[in-house]
């Protein structure tokens, strides 16, 4: 296959990764027609919503990019087969959740959608087609995709329809909440593959805005493994600082001071040292468990245990927060109103996948608490879904809000304002670090609460003096002083 100058791209999967990534490619490459397809009709309708404030994904800066390109060289559609047929390059950006049953349940990724996409591509693609893995996948998934494509290549050539496929791995490193910034100025772009021309076809697209020295070329397996390893390292840092936060609380140290002190060492660096309620998001836990599964598969049980401990520590961090809330509230939360501020897994996103708020809320509901939940971007229906099920469905901007109780004792509802949530509450838990929560007027909020009232700051966003001056009690993550 000689290097193609790409004019048409199709991306399968209009999620948090596919949508923003393709929007930026379209913005930076006006010469390329980009079509993003998805099986989920409601999601595509939301991407095409004339109101740019009601997109399915909340991401700062995204609507501005979409305003420039949507309907020009970026299109959202459910016509998957037609888009595959017309595309010279196809990105696979569908979800790969952890398997819930069968072989590898609880650790391995469920690749059924990736396989289905590969089969669809095999059936409908025409001519030379480059298939790009964008989804984070277990190492050697490219071999599966290649096997499917090659089998169809043989069938098609006997029918006189010559088709050539090449598979690349191009993992996405964007973080939600800063996706547009990460896509526009990436630390690096990673392209793994075997066919040099295909690698250059993709590198040429990125070269429209990414400096050449930041475009790294590797073999397929290095690329796939680099993505898993990058996420494992990042998650490990969070579990490390969260482990330190618990030591701080026992010893009188302050985790913020410790983080600044260790982060000033250029070998360690200051990023990713924020102690919190535990990491969430669609990737960290899934990717580490993938790595664990891979290690077991190759008989590397010590390595598997090493990585698994990162997830175990994360689960413990979430659990210890609900336990200490109960303990501080005189050992019981039954019938008590607690306000939860923030439900998204981090600030600046409406994504709730693996959000620590889910586990913390469920534990408190189990104890009979009455939870008033406020998040500026997460819909009530999304919260309902999270608290009633272990599975994830993508949030859809147009769904209507509903209020629900989980069981006879514990109850929750979605509050329209912070004041509503705190009114009559015995405690407030800050679980997501939305900027707005850093500058609340605690003097006036305190008057709404039932005394003695607590503030549990799991993100370290409040100013302790303001809480104490308002007559409230404070527990702050990693704070051994209070
Ligand atoms: C997903 C994976 O979770 C992540 O591991 C990977 O790195 C990138 O893709 P994300 O975009 O955040 O990340 O997932 P999600 O928001 O769930 O979007 C996936 C989309 O694919 C959904 O809209 C789903 O409807 C769509 N899909 C899934 C298809 O169009 N076809 C399928 O066969 C399966
Ligand atoms: C992550 C990776 O950063 C990204 O490169 C990859 O492509 C996808 O997975 P994301 O999950 O969107 O991105 O967000 P990230 O900023 O990494 O945060 C993940 C979780 O860690 C969040 O729950 C966040 O609150 C938590 N976190 C992050 C901390 O608790 N402390 C920190 O210092 C940083």
Ligand 1 geometric centre to CA of 76 (Å): 14
What would the pLDDT profile of 128-164 be if each residue is shown by its tens digit?
A: 999 999 988 888 888 889 999 988 877 776 676 778 9
If you average pLDDT over residues 262-273, what whole number do you get? Answer: 98
Question: Given ligand 1 and candidates 12, 14, 15, 56, which is best to mutate, with the most ligand atoms within 8 Å of its CB?
Answer: 15
Last residue of a domain, one of 169, 185, 218: 218
Would residue 29 show up in a list of annotated catalytic residues for this protein?
no
If you average pLDDT over residues 244-250, what whole number do you get? Answer: 98
319 and 204 within one domain: no
Ligand 1 geometric centre to CA of 113 (Å): 9
205 and 74 within one domain: yes
Whether the pLDDT of residue 350 is over 60: the answer is yes
If you average pLDDT over residues 81-92, what whole number do you get? Answer: 97
Whose alpha carbon is nearest atom 20 of ligand 1?
13
How much of the chain, in percent, has pLDDT values that exceed 90? 84
Mean residue pLDDT of the chain comes to 93
Give 395's pLDDT tier (boundaries 50, 70, 90): very low
Whose alpha carbon is nearest atom 5 of ligand 1?
136
Instruction: Give the structural domain span for 14.
Output: 8-218
Chain centroid to Cα 267, Å, comes to 27
In this prediction, residue 390 carries a pLDDT of 55
Closest CA to 126 of 101, 94, 155, 156: 156
Whose alpha carbon is nearest atom 17 of ligand 2?
175
Whose alpha carbon is nearest atom 3 of ligand 1?
95
Residues lining ligand 1, Cβ inside 6 A = 12-18, 38-40, 43, 93-96, 113, 116-117, 135-136, 172, 282-283, 394
Closest CA to 21 of 206, 283, 252, 219: 206
Does residue 251 belong to any structural domain of this protein?
no
Does residue 303 belong to any structural domain of this protein?
no
Ligand 1 geometric centre to CA of 93 (Å): 6
Whose alpha carbon is nearest atom 2 of ligand 2?
175
Question: Given ligand 2 and candidates 281, 317, 378, 458, which is best to mutate, with the most ligand atoms within 8 Å of its CB?
Answer: 281
Q: Indicate which ligand has the atom closest to the C-alpha of 174.
A: 2
In this prediction, residue 157 carries a pLDDT of 67
Q: Say yes or no: CB of residue 229 within 6 Å of ligand 2.
A: no
Question: Can you tell me which atom of ligand 1 is nearest the CA of 113?
Answer: 33
Ligand 1 geometric centre to CA of 43 (Å): 11
Whether the pLDDT of residue 12 is over 50: the answer is yes
Tell which wins on pLDDT, 53 or 460.
460
Does residue 129 belong to any structural domain of this protein?
yes
Give DSSP secondary structure letters for 131-199.
EEE-S---TTHHHHHHHHHHHHHHHHHHTT--EEEEEEE------TTSHHHHHHS-S-EEEEES-HHHH
Does residue 257 belong to any structural domain of this protein?
no
In this prediction, residue 99 carries a pLDDT of 86
Ligand 2 geometric centre to CA of 241 (Å): 14
Does residue 2 belong to any structural domain of this protein?
no
In this prediction, residue 162 carries a pLDDT of 75
213 and 321 within one domain: no
In this prediction, residue 405 carries a pLDDT of 44
330 and 460 within one domain: yes
Whose alpha carbon is nearest atom 11 of ligand 2?
281
Tokens 């593959």 belong to 193
CATH of the domain at 82: 3.40.50.720
Residue 398, number of CB atoms within 10 A of its CB: 12
Whose alpha carbon is nearest atom 14 of ligand 2?
175
In this prediction, residue 199 carries a pLDDT of 98
Q: Say yes or no: CB of residue 342 within 6 Å of ligand 2.
A: no
345 and 210 within one domain: no
Does residue 233 belong to any structural domain of this protein?
no
347 and 212 within one domain: no
In this prediction, residue 1 carries a pLDDT of 55
Last residue of a domain, one of 218, 251, 282: 218
In this prediction, residue 19 carries a pLDDT of 98
Secondary structure in 3-state letters for 198-232 = HHHHHHHHHCCCCCHHHEEEECHHHHHHHHHHHHH
What would the pLDDT profile of 191-221 be if each residue is shown by its tens digit?
A: 999 999 999 999 999 999 999 999 999 999 9
CB 317 within 8 A of CB 131: no
In this prediction, residue 155 carries a pLDDT of 73
Tell which wins on pLDDT, 228 or 390.
228
Question: Can you tell me which atom of ligand 2 is nearest the CA of 230?
Answer: 5
Range with the poorest average pLDDT among 22-26, 92-96, 264-268, 428-432: 92-96
Give the CA angle between residues 189, 145, 41 to the nearest 5°. Answer: 80
In this prediction, residue 399 carries a pLDDT of 31
Give DSSP secondary structure letters for 268-324.
T-STT----S---SSSHHHHHHHHHHHHHHTT-HHHHHHHHHHHHHHHHHHHHHHHH
318 and 197 within one domain: no
In this prediction, residue 403 carries a pLDDT of 39
Ligand 1 geometric centre to CA of 155 (Å): 29
What would the pLDDT profile of 380-391 be if each residue is shown by its tens digit?
A: 999 999 998 654
Ligand 2 geometric centre to CA of 322 (Å): 21
Last residue of a domain, one of 218, 242, 259: 218
Does residue 241 belong to any structural domain of this protein?
no
How much of the chain, in percent, has pLDDT values that exceed 70? 94
Whether the pLDDT of residue 392 is over 60: the answer is no
Whether the pLDDT of residue 224 is over 50: the answer is yes
Q: Which of 29, 117, 283, 386 is catalytic?
A: 283
**Tally of structural domains, the chain:** 2
Q: Say yes or no: CB of residue 240 within 6 Å of ligand 2.
A: no
CB 307 within 8 A of CB 266: no
Does residue 199 belong to any structural domain of this protein?
yes
What would the pLDDT profile of 162-192 be if each residue is shown by its tens digit?
A: 789 999 999 999 999 999 999 999 999 999 9
316 and 214 within one domain: no
């Amino acid at each position: 296959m000689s290097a193609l100058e790409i004019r048409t791209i199709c991306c399968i999967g209009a999620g948090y990764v596919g949508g923003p990534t393709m929007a930026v490619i379209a913005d930076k490459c006006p010469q390329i027609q980009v079509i993003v397809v998805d099986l989920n009709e409601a999601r595509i309708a939301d991407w095409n919503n004339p109101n740019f404030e009601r997109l399915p994904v909340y991401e700062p800066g995204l609507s501005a990019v979409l305003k420039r390109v949507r309907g020009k060289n970026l299109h959202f559609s459910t016509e998957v087969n037609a888009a595959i047929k017309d595309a010279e390059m196809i990105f696979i950006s569908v979800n790969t959740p952890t398997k819930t049953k069968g072989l590898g349940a609880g650790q391995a990724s469920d690749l059924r959608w990736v396989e289905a996409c590969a089969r669809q591509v095999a059936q409908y693609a025409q001519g030379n087609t480059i298939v790009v893995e964008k989804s984070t996948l277990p190492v050697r998934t490219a071999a599966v995709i290649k096997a499917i494509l090659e089998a169809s290549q043989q069938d098609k050539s006997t029918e006189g329809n010559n088709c050539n496929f090449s598979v690349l791995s191009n993992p996405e490193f964007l973080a939600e909440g800063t996706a547009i910034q990460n896509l526009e100025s990436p630390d690096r772009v990673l392209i793994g593959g075997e066919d040099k021309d295909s690698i250059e076809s993709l590198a040429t697209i990125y070269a429209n805005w990414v400096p050449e020295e930041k475009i790294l070329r590797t073999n397929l397996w290095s690329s796939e493994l680099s993505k898993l390893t990058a996420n494992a390292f990042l998650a490990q840092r969070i579990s490390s600082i969260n482990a330190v936060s618990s030591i701080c609380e026992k010893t009188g140290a302050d985790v913020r001071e410790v983080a600044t002190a260790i982060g000033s060492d250029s070998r360690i660096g200051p990023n990713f040292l924020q102690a919190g309620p535990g990491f969430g998001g669609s990737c960290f836990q899934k990717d580490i468990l993938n790595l664990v599964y891979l290690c077991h598969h190759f008989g590397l049980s010590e390595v598997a245990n090493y990585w698994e401990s990162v997830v175990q520590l994360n689960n413990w961090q979430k659990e210890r927060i609900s336990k200490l809330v109960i303990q501080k509230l005189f050992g019981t939360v039954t019938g008590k109103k607690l306000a939860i501020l923030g439900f998204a897994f981090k600030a600046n996103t409406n994504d709730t996948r693996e959000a620590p708020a889910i586990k913390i809320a469920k534990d408190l509901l189990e104890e009979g608490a009455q939870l008033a939940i406020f998040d500026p971007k997460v819909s009530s229906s999304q919260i309902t879904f999270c608290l009633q099920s272990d599975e994830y469905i993508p949030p859809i901007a147009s769904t209507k809000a509903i209020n629900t109780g989980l069981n006879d004792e514990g109850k929750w509802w979605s509050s329209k304002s912070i004041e509503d949530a705190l009114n009559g509450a015995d405690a407030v838990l800050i679980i997501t670090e939305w900027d707005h929560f850093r500058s609340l007027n605690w003097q006036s909020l305190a008057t709404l609460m039932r005394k003695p009232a607590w503030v549990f700051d799991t993100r370290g966003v409040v100013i302790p003096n303001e809480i104490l001056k308002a007559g409230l009690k404070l527990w702050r993550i990693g704070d051994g002083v209070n």
